[in-house]
Chains A and B, each alone.
Chain A
């Protein structure tokens, strides 16, 4: 049908974006349409490409830390974590236990806030305005908590090589517990308000199914992979930091449709809260920075790799050091770049509004794709 439709000149080209509410930032998709059906979709990237990888070669290891908070602006702490962890791995720096706990607590809080933004924006894409307000109300509490300890609300730069730069206080602990209490009440409300809504079900069930094999061929990770029945979470499969000490589940749904990806993220909010609760209960005393933190960061020569589970999937850093105070090469493997690359195959033959539902369920953050 595709080839014939194109040859018969029955198709037309539709530009989606780069300024379009459903593309969350500046993504452009060139759609070849046959009426209301998509024949071919070609994402056009690079509108906010900033060449973070070249910047890494032009500034010292420590100076690059703020850059890592500016790629995925919704879950910046995971990126902080990946970068700090790869340099610590190369230098052999041991991080104090309390610092690791603080890292996990803040990263998981950040994951919840990221999923809340996605939740609100996704429903907004589908035409529902109200849930966005509820989600942002809950997210605001997380931003206040994180601001009190990291000093910023969005582009965090909280981690240091060998720990974190600021200890938490009683207010943070109490505030976090309080937040979890209210969030536990909010989630059933979200499910009543949104998940069980017949309009949402009709918009998401069986829409945009992605097979396991497609996921693997395109290297998709995170909730997108877990919604297609792949039980892969870097926190479990390739444990880093102190995640093995916590008891949490990895939500996996086998349907592969947009609803499955939606449910994975909603369940992940609950799992993140479980991790935070356990971490607060077990929080040890001690320093938050390694006592003899090296003043000059010069990782030994060689290749190092570190993957972390960001809110959107596996974020990997490959670093090549030549033993100087600057990176020789720093490759940032961002999860959404791979997740989006399957869009063109997955949306063929779909109705345009359904393709937008699929795109929303991939949870795109454009600055992270473009880097």
Chain B
């Protein structure tokens, strides 16, 4: 696997993000953007770069962090599947304050060892995202589990019924506003 090539393939899928000063931006892209904006130099606009970041494996435990729009996850799955990655897990994170639900896909490659994280944010009121189970059959159960816990609807999923929760359950326990009886 060619890590640089993989990054190039995933770059078009990434959303544009305001660069925060502390973030280590990709040098190559910074130059390209700089060249394009030469005439607008006088106006210091906030720079926007694709949200694709290399991560220090030692510190974080994964190698590449990519933020994408919800409709791009299938395309990302196809690219990673072609490269020989397998899917570790699909999960969600409830960001209640921002009124958003995050969906996280963990991909891993055996040899050479490489972990890629694809993440996307959904509107908390209407969390719908296309399923990747047509590309990666192993995602079927992981998506059902994520639907159980967060109520995220995976459109096009062949069998989106509760997997771990009771079959008639209508609650989503990992949402932050789900109250636990202590």
- A residues neighboring B (CB under 8 Å): 45-46, 49, 51, 53-54, 57-58, 86, 89, 215-219, 230-232, 237-238, 302-307, 314, 316, 318, 320, 328-329, 331, 333, 337-338, 341-342, 345, 370-371
Contact = CB atoms under 8 A, between A and B. Distances in A.
B89 interface: yes
Interface residues of B, number: 38
Nearest to A232: B110
Given A46-B162, A232-B111, A333-B106, A217 B137 contact: yes
B117 interface: yes
Contact of A46 (B84, B87, B91, B165): B165
Contacts of A45: 163-164
Majority SS at the chain A contact face: mixed
A352 B5 CA distance: 46
Interface of B: 59-62, 65, 84, 86-89, 91, 93-94, 104, 106, 108, 110-111, 113, 115, 117, 136-138, 140-141, 145, 149, 162-166, 173-174, 178, 180, 182
Given A216-B84, A217-B86, A231-B111, A49 B165 contact: yes
A310 to B, nearest CB: 14
Contacts of B162: 46
A371 B111 contact: no
Given A46-B166, A216-B84, A304 B61 contact: yes
Contacts of A58: 180, 182
A333 B89 contact: yes
A350 B145 CA distance: 28
B141 to A, nearest CB: 5
B164 A371 contact: yes
Contacts of A342: 138
A345 B133 CA distance: 14
A337 B141 contact: yes
A54 B166 contact: no
Given A49-B165, A216-B84, A318-B104, A305 B174 contact: no
Contacts of A306: 61
Given A53-B149, A57-B174, A237-B113, 17 more contacts: A49-B164, A49-B165, A58-B180, A89-B59, A89-B60, A231-B110, A237-B111, A238-B113, A302-B60, A316-B88, A316-B106, A318-B89, A318-B106, A331-B91, A331-B104, A333-B88, A341-B140
